[in-house]
Structures are given as C-alpha cells and as structure tokens.
Structure 1
Amino acid sequence: MASVRFERVTKKFGEFVAVHDFDLEIRDKEFLVLLGPSGCGKTTTMRMVAGLEEATSGDIYIDADRINDVLPKYRDVAMVFQSYALYPHLTVEDNIGYPLKIRKVPPEEYKRRVSEVARRVELDTMLKRLPKELSGGQRQRVALARAIVRTPRVFLMDEPLSNLDAKLRTQMRAELKHLQHELQVTTIYVTHDQIEAMTLANRVAVMNKGVIEQLGTPREIYNDPRTLFVAGFIGSPSMNLIPGEVKDGVFESAGLRVGGAGRVTIPRAVLGVRPEDALVTAADDAQANLVAPIYSVELTGENTLVSLQLGGRLMTLRADKNFAGQIDQPAGVKIARDRMFLFDADTERRVDFKPEG
C-alpha cells in the first residue's frame, strides 16, 4: 500500500490557476475525499496523481518516490471514472481481467484473481454476460472490479456514482466503503456530493477555487466549519446563513439579537444555524429567539422541513414528522445557543463566539 503527498503543487492552464500551492498528505490505507463544486480543482488534483495532468510546479510523491516525471503506466495506480468505460464486445470476465491480460499474467493466476474479485463485488454469477445485459449498478461494479484486480498502490475514483439513480448510489456507497475496508488500499475519491463525502471518507478535503478550505474527518467538517464556504457547502439542507452586523460583541439581524462575540464590531457578519439546531415553537413562546411566518412545509418521511420567511430570505428548520403548521402562519424559533456559528463576511473566517442572553 502507499501514502500520497503533495508539496506546494500548482497547476495552471494558461493564465488560469486550477490548483494553487497545494499541500496535502494522504495516509497509507486512508479513504480521502476531495469535495467541492465544479471547477474547484479536485479532479485536476487527482489527475495529477494519475499522470494525466502535469503539475506546473511542486512535487507529488507516492511513498518516498517523486512521481512528477514517471509515466502513468509505471505509477501503479488504478482509476475508476464517472463513465463505466467498459468494452462492449467483451464479457464481464474479460473486462475485469483485461489489465491482467495486457500484463501477460499466467492463465491459472488470471482465472484465480478474476474469480476472487468478481466474488467480492457480487458478479461471480454474471461473468459470461456482456455489458449491455447488465444494470447501471452492475456495470459500475465491473469497472470497480477491473481496477481492484490489479491490486494497485492507490485507487483514484472520479465521481464513480454520479450516473446512478438515488437507490443505486446508496447501495454502491455501502459496497465501496466495505470494499475499501476489506482491501485496505489508499483511495482518493473525487465528488461534488457532500453526502458521498460524509458517508465514505476517513477524512474530507473541502476544496474551493483551487485550495483546501478545510481538512478533517466528516464529523469535524460538519460540526466545526472553519469558513463560510464550508459552513454553507456541507449539510443537507445546508446551514442557514443569516446576514447581519456585530456591534460591540452583539449580533443583530431581522429581529434576532445575540451577544457573545466579546467586544468586537463586525460591519458585515453572518450567523450560521443548522436546520436541526433550532426548534420551531409557538409564535407566543417567550423563549423564542425570533418570530417569522411559515413559507413552506415539506414532509420528508422521518421529519418535516419547515421554511420561514426571515428578512427577505428563507430559514429552513427540521421539525417533527407530525408538525402541523400552516403556510403564512407565524411561528417562533428557538435556537440552540451552543450550536450557533459566527463568521466575518469579508474574510469568510469564523469568529470566536459564545452566545449569551
């Protein structure tokens, strides 16, 4: 197995900087997710490991080996793409075994390795089928098996689940996580889907505009966002971000007033509240932090999403599945004070904040 290390790596396309001064170490056997919106540099970063893109500056290592000038075929990495990229005229068995065939692996070992990998991804009864006879999820498992059969030092996965429907994505996430646990191969996984990142990763690197905004475990990223971008990007529904200002340590906005920022003044501030960290109450609740009219009520099954019209924007909260409020009816909001986040809108960094009174 192997670790992967980036040291001050920059990648430019002409004048456009796709990845800037990038430092990251991916530990041996780790499942690391590069997460971010389209154009943030995550796929370019992974392609530099594969050798499909050349770093403009900086160094990339697999273990102690600097690989910048190593040809892709000698890097011992396996890549799974968004598209299945299967050979339509070859059977499942031949698609899986193709990397072994071109390496001229002896027939007995070829058969053993293909059979073992097919069993691991539950394709052992489908080895004689053609790709056109498979479902989308089965085709993606063939693509995974073809990467696994090589036993590479590093797996690279570029949004491999994005072509699947919601049910298959859920199933394949579980299979991927279990496979990586079994195989113990260092894995770099690229996605814009924060649910995939949260469920699969040992650690998540949240990227924006070619740099890492925050690196940590899924729990750390969710519970302790360091920047405004991370706070708004992670979570479904996303964190409520309420613009306002801080005067002498007190945040004020749209009927909401909360102290706890020391003695600082921030002309443009943002208060962050996750949907599950606030309670919808009666409009006349004396403990409510604010009152606003209900804009929409959406039953999701296990709970209800309630959106309130707050100062020209919506504030979304999770309520009990039996919530019975009506649109345009006023409702109170009681926010968990130890779960508020305060950001400076200009620097986009989090500010020390201990809500009070």
Structure 2
Amino acid sequence: MNSSLALPEALANHPGFSRVFKPGHLSIGFVAPLEGYPDSAGPTMANHASMAKLADDVGIAALWLRDVPFYDPTFGDVGQILDPMVYAGWLSAMTRNIAIGTAGIVAPLRDPLIVAKQAASVDQLLGGRFLLGLASGDRPEEYPAFGQAFSQRASRFREALEIIHTVSEDSFPSYRSQLHGSMNGSLDLIPKPVAKRFPYIATGRAGQTLEWLAANVDAWIWHGFDPQGMTDVIPQWRDACAERGYKPYGYGCWFDLDPDPDAPIEPGRVLRGGRHALIELWQRQEQAGVTHLVLNLKPTRRRPEDIFDELGRYVLPLFPAHTQRLAESAR
C-alpha cells in the first residue's frame, strides 16, 4: 500500500476505527433507527433490538446515533428518539462486533467534560468499538433552549474538542478555557478510553474550514443534496490533509434499496436504486476515495429485514467491514 494512504498505527489497530475505515476500501454503515418512517417525524423503535443484532450479524461496519434532543417541526425528524450516549451503552449489550458511533454529538450544546465521561464509559462497555463523532448542530431553535448563542457554535466546538482531548488522554490535566471552565491538575477524569484516545470524526463541517478539520480530527463524514456527487469534494479534502497524512472521508444520505435489482438510481436527495446500479456507483466512489457510507433508512417503505438480507447476500461481500475481511483471510 502507498504509505501516503496508511492510517497511523494507533488508528489502524483501533477496534472500532479499523472496522470502519481502511484506505482504498469502502465500508457500509447505517444511522439509527434501522427502520423506515417516511410519513412521520419519528420511528416506532418497535424492533430496534432485533435490528441492531441483525445489522451486527450480517456484517454492517457501523451503527451511527444522532443527537436530536428536541422535536423541531421545521426539521420534522427526531432520529432514534433516545439519547445517543444512553442508547450506545444499551447497544453494547446487544451487539458483539459492529462499531457504534455518534453522528454526531452536538458539542456546543453539551458540557465537554460530561461528553468525555460518557464517551469513555460507553467505550469501556463496547470494548473499544466506540467512535466519537462530533457536530456543531444545524437547528438554531435548540440554542436558546440551552442558553447558548447559535453564532458561537464554531468556537464552542473547537474548544470542546480540545477539552475532550485533554481530559480523556491526560492524567490530572490542567487547562483554562474561555467558554467551558478550567482544571488545575487536582482532578482526574475516569474512566479513560480503552485505547490511548478516541478516534474523532467530524460529522458535517461543524462551522470549520477543511484545513482546521484536517488538522484536528481523524476522519470526516460529509452530507449533501446529491449522493451521486459526493466525490466532488475529495480533491479539496486531500489537499487539506496533504501535510497531515491520510485521513478517511465518508458521506451520509437517505437511502432506499429498490426491490428490483436492475432498477436505475433515481435522481434526487434520496439514494434509491437497485443493487446492481448501487454496486456500480459505490465501486466508482471507492476508487475515487470514499471509505465509508452512512445510510439512513427513513424514506424506505420496505421491511428493513429484507433490505439487510439482500445487502448481506449480494452487497456486503463486496464492501465488507474490514476486520471481518481480515479475519476471513486468515482462516
């Protein structure tokens, strides 16, 4: 492998990160909930335990949890309803191999010390399978409820990330911040992550430049209006990472698998098509540098069990979770 496309050793050996991200290869993840709810703001969550186990069993690389504290009718979607950190802890008892990530914790609205405490606790329960995805939030109405200014979200995000780094990696840390308090070395945050540190994933731009993200996170998951055009930004991301080494890129989108395997991909914000066209698209995107997909089943009317069965039979063998691929090649 080209050394310029290699992960740092700590990330290449990280149980969660190495399952999801491998240079030159694409993996498939899903955002919770694992069901369609095209006509409502929220899912039923009726079979979420069995669906999480099924996602794990068929070899989905990661399950991502959204941070949506309120129902905002102007957005019309409450994600998996349950708090992502609480839900991640519950999922640790329901799953064995799948990585569990947040996509993403709205860092400007949460105390970074509590985020670090929760994330390290979840990571311990998951045996190192946790991926800490952070975002700045895109729902302005939430900010007054938390007593925060929407205009400060970018600076609060940067400071929160630095604090989480410090308290989760250093013993008896010292720091002084402008927006989040200070520590003087008399206290230590426990537990720490299973590995030396969390893998940090930016979900969205978080109000930052690509250069800042390249310097401060380990991977970037973008979202856009055209899933078929999500390779367009890759040259800019590579340029931003040029002096930092290789950092993975992925994207998230609404998804619906057409039951007709020969159906073409439909234009629009929903990535909808038959498996043959989707495989061709994802192979092209893999070659272009996409390393992970975060698929959202909200628009589908198909039974998610049928979608996962079809993916497991025909698609995931071409885009496997990477630790699964390594384990199989060793047998």
Is TM > 0.5 for Structure 1 vs Structure 2? no
Higher relative contact order (CA 8 A, sep 6+): 2
Short-chain TM bin: under 0.3
TM-score (norm 1): 0.26
Larger Rg: 1
Write 1 or 2 for the structure with the bigger share of strand: 1
